[in-house]
């Protein structure tokens, strides 16, 4: 099962086909586009839009570590390896429908096992995106 519109809430993690996201003219994108399919975490939503930042297991100075206590649900690398929110300047935003479409074929979580980030983690992401002037909704 892939991501649904009803699942899109601040804190959910989903996998996206970045070629679809990067090609979608309705999506606000960073200057440096994501180059690999992988996990993103939603950090803001409203009725029609959502904003997401990429997650990585690779450390870099500009990446905010995802504290263990911020990680909920999920399994495997999500629970056992260090995780980082990509640079706040590299967020993606806008129509929820675009993110649902980009999840088809690469996101296999069910609502019950979908990884999540706590409210404290979401607040930290939002603060980082604001400081770095990344796309917001």
Residue indicated by tokens 């260090």: 82
Residue boundaries of the structural domains of the chain: 5-132
Q: Are 126 and 43 in contact (CB under 8 A)?
A: yes
Predicted TM-score of the model (pTM):
0.92
pLDDT tens, N- to C-terminus, the chain (137 residues): 689 999 999 999 999 999 999 999 999 999 889 999 989 999 999 999 999 999 999 998 878 899 999 999 887 888 889 999 888 888 999 999 999 999 999 988 877 789 999 999 999 999 988 988 888 88
| Interacting residues of 19 by C-beta distance below 8 A, sequence separation 6+ | none
């Amino acid at each position: 099962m892939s991501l649904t519109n009803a699942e899109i809430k601040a804190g959910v993690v989903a996998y996206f086909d970045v070629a679809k996201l990067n090609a979608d003219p309705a999506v606000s994108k960073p200057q440096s586009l994501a180059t690999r399919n992988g996990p993103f975490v939603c950090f803001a939503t409203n009725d029609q839009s959502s904003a997401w930042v990429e997650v990585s297991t690779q450390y870099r100075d500009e990446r905010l570590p995802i504290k263990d206590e911020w990680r909920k649900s999920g399994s495997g690398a999500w629970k056992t390896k260090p995780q980082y929110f990509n640079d706040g300047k590299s967020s993606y935003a806008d129509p929820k429908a675009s993110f649902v479409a980009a999840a088809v074929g690469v996101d296999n979580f069910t609502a019950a096992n979908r990884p999540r980030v706590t409210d404290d983690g979401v607040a930290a992401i939002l603060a980082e995106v604001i400081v770095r002037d990344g796309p917001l909704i």
